[in-house]
Amino acid sequence: MATKTDTATVTGAEVRSEGPIKRSGNSHVNLNGFSAPQPLAPIRTHRKKKYRHVAAVHSKPRTSCLSHDAESTPSFLGFRNLMVIVLIVGNLRLMIENFKKYGVLICIRCHDYQRQDLILGAALYFIIPCHLFLAYVVELVAAQQARRSLRSNGKKRSGTATPGGSYVPSDEERQKFHSTWVLVAWVHGVNATLCLTITSVIVYFFIHHPLIGTLSEVHAIIVWLKTASYAFTNRDLRHSYLHPSNREEDILPEIYQQCPYPENITLGNLTYFWWAPTLVYQPVYPRTKKIRWVFVAKRMAEVFGLNAFMWIASAQYAAPVLRNSLDKIATLDLSSILERLMKLSTISLVIWLAGFFALFQSFLNALAEVMKFGDREFYADWWNSPSVGEYWRTWNKPVYQFMKRHVFSPLVGRGWSSGAASIFVFTFSAFLHELLVGVPTHNIIGVAFIGMIAQLPLIWLTAPLEKMQGINGRIIGNCIFWVSFTLIGQPLAALLYFFAWQAKYGTVSRKV
């Protein structure tokens, strides 16, 4: 605001009311610009200037504030406000245009949930957790065997106890533990994979509606991961139990002492793990003291509201764009496909952000509150990611922690390089993503798989940007993340799976 300078230079046209200036700190706004408080000045009589038309408006050289030789760069906050306004107005216009073209596309009564879908979906909902129960039984047996092995009915064990309190197993014991573990691992593996396979087969061949299919598939994958975590963690706990050690690198986390192996192998403990909002098994979790039911109610209201929003947005805004793209894809009209992709990207971004919030912020927090689960860090501020790698580390912490603890870390421990272990993690993740998207849509076209694998070169490309001095590297990396992921990747994948579905089935919702 240049008005202060004006006050200094305009010597002939100060417009003050007639009469003496009082000592004042009042702010004084009038239309000629004196909006700053008057500086405290000695009391003196001040008569109005006589010659008003001679004010020296230009009395010293000044630069324009956008010139390169300006003393200081001006703020551009006003343009940030303008950007938000233009975004809102532009999208409101698209909404008006959509309404004029299509009217209201939302149809609460019409749905294509077939009876079979609902029955099978419900059945799977109850069948899938049984595999987790089976895993518990396996661990119970293994724990009992471990207990017996340790008590040994008085018979001395064949290993050596060290002076520091550790126990070094003999070769025979080591062999026995290993063969036990192999058996346990096989049973767990078959159990969990059976669960996933049965679910996938049922969803692929018998459940038509992709939403019910996706929910079942997600449930099966979660149980698969939890079973794996349960098995691996208990293996290590059992090993530590059988071969106690005081060495620093063998010490178990302090929090586990509240429930040492094998006291954690109980149905109650497993049930808690079954429902807890995490994929990594721990005998003990940090807990909160009480359930805030108002908090839970608010979070569930958010879940409901956001789901309604997503459903409306999909039906009213995403579906028409997807449908209008079909012939362009069929004729490979590239510029039109690009245009459709750009139009789809805004709405798919909005739906995805809503979905992220509904799942990771609202639903998981509600679940954690009901379970009195203490650690609510389900995500970090991934939207600020200066690189694609940082995004994958922060947006979905449950999965990230699982991969780090049960896949990445053990591989590196076995001598794999960090890069090789990452490739393995992303390949595994790509496989799961393809199951998650391809099976419920009955088109395993490999787009989700390739999409995940393609993250690796992007991670490698943007990793240096994280470490760069100054803020520009981080901004560029952030932009690369947004463009590749939300403006190319997601809408393209959505378009391709939608196209594949249409190619297989024809129309999927109410005709326009």
Between residue 423 and residue 482, which ones bind a second copy under the rule CB under 8 A? Answer: 425, 459, 463, 466-467, 475, 478-479, 482
For the record, the structure tokens of 92 come out as 């409101």
- Stated as kind and residue range, the H or E segment containing 167 is strand 167-168
Q: Which CB, 309 or 382, lies closer to a second copy?
A: 382
Nearest to 278 by CA among 235, 195, 222: 222
Spatial CA neighbour of 409 closest among 186, 180, 232 = 232
Phi, psi of 188 (to 5 degrees): -55, -45
Asked if omega into 20 is within 30° of 0 (cis), the reply is no
* CB of 123 vs a second copy, minimal distance in Å: 32
Site membership for a second copy, residue 71 (CB under 8 A): no
Q: Closest separation between CB of residue 379 and a second copy, Å?
A: 7
Q: Contacting a second copy (CB under 8 A), which of 145, 166, 240, 509?
A: 240
In SS3 terms, 258-325 reads as HCCCCCCCCHHHHHHHHHCCCCCCCCCCCECCCCCHHHHHHHHHHHHHHHHHHHHHHHHHHHHHHHHH
Angle between helices 334-356 and 293-313 (to 10 degrees): 170
3-class secondary structure, 28: coil
Nearer to a second copy, 201 or 291 (CB): 291
187-206 residues in contact with a second copy (CB under 8 A) are none
Judged by beta carbon, residue 82 or residue 291, the one nearer a second copy is 82
Count of residues near a second copy by CB under 8 A: 137
Residue with smaller CB distance to a second copy, 181 or 311: 181
Q: Which neighbouring-strand residues pair with 21?
A: 44
Distance CA 363, CA 381 (A): 18
Name the minimum Å distance from CB 259 to a second copy.
12
Site for a second copy in 247-286 (CB under 8 A): 249-250, 252-256, 278, 280, 282, 285-286
Binding mask 333-362 for a second copy (x = CB under 8 A): --xx-xx--xx-xx--x-------x--xx-
Q: Which of residues 99-128 bind a second copy (CB under 8 A)?
A: 100
Q: Which of 22, 40, 42, 79 binds a second copy (CB under 8 A)?
A: 79
State the binding string over 381-400 for a second copy (x if CB under 8 A, else -): xxxxx---xx--xx--x---
Q: Which of positions 22-51 make contact with a second copy (CB under 8 A)?
A: 27, 29-33, 35, 47-51
Interior/surface letters 23-45, b for 16+ CB within 10 angstroms, e for the rest: eeeeeeeeeeebeeebeeeeeee
Q: Which one of residues 123, 168, 194, 483 is an interface residue with a second copy (CB under 8 A)?
A: 483
Q: Which one, 216 or 429, has the nearer CB to a second copy? A: 429
Choose the stretch contacting a second copy; rule: CB under 8 A; options: 60-68, 163-171, 181-189, 319-327.
Answer: 60-68
473 membership: H or E segment, kind and range: helix 472-482
Judged by beta carbon, residue 439 or residue 459, the one nearer a second copy is 459
